[in-house]
Amino acid sequence: MPHILENSAIQLEINPLLARWSASSRYSNSPYLENIQLNLGYRRGRRYKNLLDHWPDYSIVASETSQSPHGPGRKIQLTINSSEDRIKSTVTFALPAHHPLLLWKISVENLRTEPIKIEEIELLSAGYIHHGRRGPNGQVYFPKSGLSRTKGPSDPRGSSHPLNLAFFSNGWQSWSRSGSYRATDQYLQTHLGFLRSPLVKNTQTPNPHRSGLFASDMYGVLGDQHHRNGLLCGFLSQKKHFGSLETWLGGTSPALKMWANGDGARLDPGRQMETDWACLQFLHLDNPDPLAPYLEAVMREHNLAPENFSGTKSPSGWCSWYHFSGEDYIGRLNAGDIQENLKALKDLREQIPLEIIQIDDGFETQVGDWLSFNEGFSEGLTPLAREISNGDYSPGIWLAPFIMHPKSRLANQHPEWVLRNRFGRPVNAGFLWNSFTQALDLTHPDAQGYVREVIHSATSDWGFPYLKLDFL
């Protein structure tokens, strides 16, 4: 018996053989997805196993109403038990009553007597066949007729021409490229390879070189530029895993998949791992703010609703990093430079009303050695923070607590804190400060303790309530 969830914009039909996700029947000529696959990739020793290909033992529980940060809605919970693999997977679908979104997440519980390593949890696969999987091959359809209020379903074989399709790719971080691609394009990437890739690329997100094949981080938008309709797939947060997407626009119909990166994390017997909420939104590309439902859901998921910040505003301030006139402060900053600019800003307070004076890179003896200061800050940072506060400004400080220079005392005195690859070599954290930097292994309790000490010292001992945290 199929189970169906529907709100004013989205319809989900699910049974043990297929899942069909579409815009509501009121908009039956909108894009839709059919035969969607959900997969779990894990390793036990050297064996890779896709768990969710078939449902030998399952149960479905439907909940008419439930409350969440996204208001009331309906839920379906699908629990899949595998007696062969002794792993229990639970897929929870949620359809908010007042938002045009479909949400779902997957939890995995290890019922075995030995640990397993989670490689990836695939929350959507349509049009992809991999790891020898059998069964229906899901598809993403963009009917030619666009949005209309007709009754019958569109003919999936009348799907939009591939050259009409485009994909918006979201970058890994602020230095990564975000932008749209068409089927004839190639995925843009850095040509500096190992010098630049660690900074701008998630290692678990594909780096395709084939025309028509593209990747994205956290969310992406697949759209028909001619008929002006599309769909957004993404995650509401990255609290539990980093999420990746890939699409293929080179076939007769587009392929799309999205997964949570397990990164080979160990799941011990009796323990459970859960993904962040995944999100599907159907949209019209000519809407003045087409991504608003998704972005507002991200806001709610992180409790960032505007009413929680009434009366507050974004702070304005001066930062030593961006001073390029005359003597460049980058690499040669000293306490006198901060005092000189503080005096000038106080004299110009009416013309330039700022709130924060922020000290950037250059105070520490070496990147990673945050608790020792170079000769330009021989008295430390506490007197400067006090002087800034006495001038009615808020003191700010730059820190990059997870990264270190290989010549730092931290890296040399605590080699056990350095993040290492499977060969025991330090992981390349990017070419910065004219060196291949290293990273802290934040699974090491003492490395975590050092980060806590740095943050506590900056805020409580030195007197800096404003932190600019970099290279996280």
218 Cβ neighbours under 8 A, 6+ residues apart: 170, 234, 235, 238, 242, 243
CB count in 10 Å sphere of residue 204: 18
- Work out the pLDDT band at 193, boundaries 50, 70, 90: confident
What's the Cα-to-Cα distance from 398 to each of 194, 197, 368, 374, rounded to whole Å?
A: 26, 23, 12, 15
Instruction: Write the single-letter amino acid at 4.
Output: I
Please give the model's pTM, rounded to 2 decimal places: 0.86
Query: What pLDDT, in 10s, does the model give residues 152-185?
Result: 444 444 466 778 899 999 999 888 999 999 999 9
Q: Which residue has the tokens 């998704």?
A: 294
Please report which helix (H) or strand (E) contains residue 262, including its range: strand 255-267
How far from the centroid of its chain's Cα atoms is residue 209's Cα? Answer: 22
Which tokens belong to 466?
A: 């404003």
pLDDT at 148: 37
- On the question of pLDDT at 460 being above 80, the answer is yes
Give me the helices (H) in 241-334, please: 292-301
CATH no., domain 317-469: 3.20.20.70
- On the question of pLDDT at 300 being above 90, the answer is yes
Q: What is the CA radius of gyration of the chain?
A: 26
- Work out the pLDDT band at 15, boundaries 50, 70, 90: low
Q: Could you give the 3-state DSSP secondary structure of residue 446?
A: helix
pLDDT at 135: 41
- On the question of pLDDT at 124 being above 60, the answer is yes
- Work out the pLDDT band at 26, boundaries 50, 70, 90: very low
- Work out the pLDDT band at 344, boundaries 50, 70, 90: very high
Give me the helices (H) in 227-378, please: 292-301, 335-347
Q: What is the mean pLDDT of residues 325-341?
A: 77
Architecture of domain 3-305: Distorted Sandwich (2.70)
How far from the centroid of its chain's Cα atoms is residue 342's Cα? Answer: 38
Q: What is the mean pLDDT of residues 409-420?
A: 97
Q: Which residue has the tokens 């960032």?
A: 304
- Work out the pLDDT band at 138, boundaries 50, 70, 90: low
Which tokens belong to 361?
A: 């890179």
- On the question of pLDDT at 411 being above 70, the answer is yes
Q: What is the mean pLDDT of residues 202-228?
A: 93
Q: Where are the domains of the chain?
A: 3-305, 317-469
